[in-house]
Amino acid sequence: MSNAPGTPTASIGLRTAAHVGISVGDLDRSVAFYRALLGTEPVVRDETMHGPGFAQSQGLPVTKLRYATFNLDNLGIDLIQFLDPAGEPAQGAANRPGTMHLCFLVDDVYAVHARMREAGFDFLGEPYTFAEGEVNPADALGTQVAYFNDPDGTNLEIIAPRGGFARPE
Q: Who contacts 93 (Cβ-Cβ below 8 Å, separation ≥6)?
A: 99
Name the pLDDT band for 166 (thresholds 50, 70, 90).
very low
Q: What is the largest CA-CA distance in the chain?
A: 54
Residues 20 and 156 sit within 8 Å (Cβ to Cβ): no
Read off the pLDDT of residues 36-61 as tens digits, 9 standing for 90 and up: 999 999 999 988 887 888 878 888 88
Read off the pLDDT of residues 64-117 as tens digits, 9 standing for 90 and up: 889 999 999 999 999 999 987 787 777 777 766 677 899 999 999 999 999 999
Name the pLDDT band for 5 (thresholds 50, 70, 90).
low
Could you give the domains of the chain? 19-84 (3.10.180.10), 101-160 (3.10.180.10)
DSSP SS3 for 117: helix
For the chain, state the CA radius of gyration: 18
Alpha-carbon separation of residue 134 from 69, 140, 141, 163 (angstroms): 37, 10, 9, 18
pTM here is: 0.83
Residues 87 and 69 sit within 8 Å (Cβ to Cβ): no
Name the pLDDT band for 11 (thresholds 50, 70, 90).
confident
What's the DSSP call for residue 140?
G
> Residue 71's pLDDT is what?
97
> Residue 95's pLDDT is what?
66
Alpha-carbon separation of residue 167 from 16, 106, 164 (angstroms): 12, 14, 9
- Residue 43: count other Cβ atoms within 10 Å of its Cβ: 10
Cα–Cα distance for residue pair 147/80, rounded to 1 Å: 22
Read off the pLDDT of residues 107-151 as tens digits, 9 standing for 90 and up: 999 999 999 999 999 999 999 998 888 877 777 888 999 999 999
